[in-house]
Amino acid sequence: MRVLIVEDDKALGRGIVGYLRAEAFTIDWVLDGETAVQQAAEPYAVIVLDLGLPDISGLEVLQRLRRAGNRTPLIILTARDALKDRVAGLDLGADDYMLKPFEVEELAARIRALARRRGGDPSPTLSVGNLTLDRNGAHADVAGRPLELRRREHAVLLVLAANAGKVVSRQRLIGEIFGHDDEAGPNALDLYVGRVRRKLEPDGPRIVTLRGQGYLLQPA
């Protein structure tokens, strides 16, 4: 799951990013509002936005994103305890808020919950045929057989499983599993898809490659 963090406090930002990456999120982190507006044009599952930014306010960032048609679920972070700030953020289109200081474990849980609701399925578990996939971590199994997926392998399988029976383009998969600063070679996606395909064999769902289109997950 790819998440955009907009936070100018470098110590806090490093803590958030470090924890979320350890929890299998793909993270991009920016320090100011103007960069956030530009970066948010890329595909994200959730945006985490601080209100107290050094150039333009987080509320202005939020307003500009929503006016431009960006509907990515968004969580506001703020040290401001005034009710009017929280109300303003929610009225401008924020989906949730957290007051500083907060526990990063709770932030991770709220990100996952928002992403599930956006997909129309609030359940933490996703099933495709005999495949069961935990949205909240790297666990997955086929008919009880653990798949032992690495972080990006889990991300690939999660996107394909959430769109089972539909073609998922290469561009979308790349956008979902690689962050802005990740070094991804031209064959990196094929490498991860190949690893997942082998781990699903012989009794799990099949990953079908459609040349020029993308990939499709078929139930076993």
128-180 pLDDT, tens per residue? 999 999 877 668 999 999 998 988 898 899 889 988 999 999 988 888 888 77
* Domain boundary, last residue among 78, 97, 118: 118
Region 13-30 average pLDDT:
92
- Given a contact cutoff of 8 angstroms between Cβ atoms, the answer to whether 73 and 100 are in contact is no
The total number of structural domains in the chain stands at 2
Q: Is 106 found in the same domain as 174?
A: no
Q: What is the pTM of this model?
A: 0.78
Q: Is 95 found in the same domain as 39?
A: yes
Residue 34: pLDDT over 80 = yes
φ, ψ dihedrals at 130, nearest 5°: -90, 10
Residue-number span of the structural domain to which 208 is assigned = 125-218
Residue 184 has what pLDDT?
Answer: 67
Q: Is 103 found in the same domain as 54?
A: yes
Domain CATH number, residue 97: 3.40.50.2300
CA distance 51 to 94: 11
80-105 pLDDT, tens per residue? 666 788 888 899 999 999 998 899 99
Chain position carrying tokens 């957290």: 98
DSSP E strands: which ranges in 74-205?
Answer: 74-78, 96-99, 125-128, 131-134, 140-142, 145-146, 168-169
Domain CATH number, residue 136: 1.10.10.10
* Domain boundary, last residue among 86, 118, 150: 118
CA distance 218 to 47: 31
Q: Is 109 found in the same domain as 24?
A: yes
Q: Shortest CA distance to 147 belongs to which of 168, 162, 130, 163?
A: 130
- Given a contact cutoff of 8 angstroms between Cβ atoms, the answer to whether 124 and 112 are in contact is yes
Q: Is 104 found in the same domain as 8?
A: yes
* Domain boundary, last residue among 118, 145, 167: 118
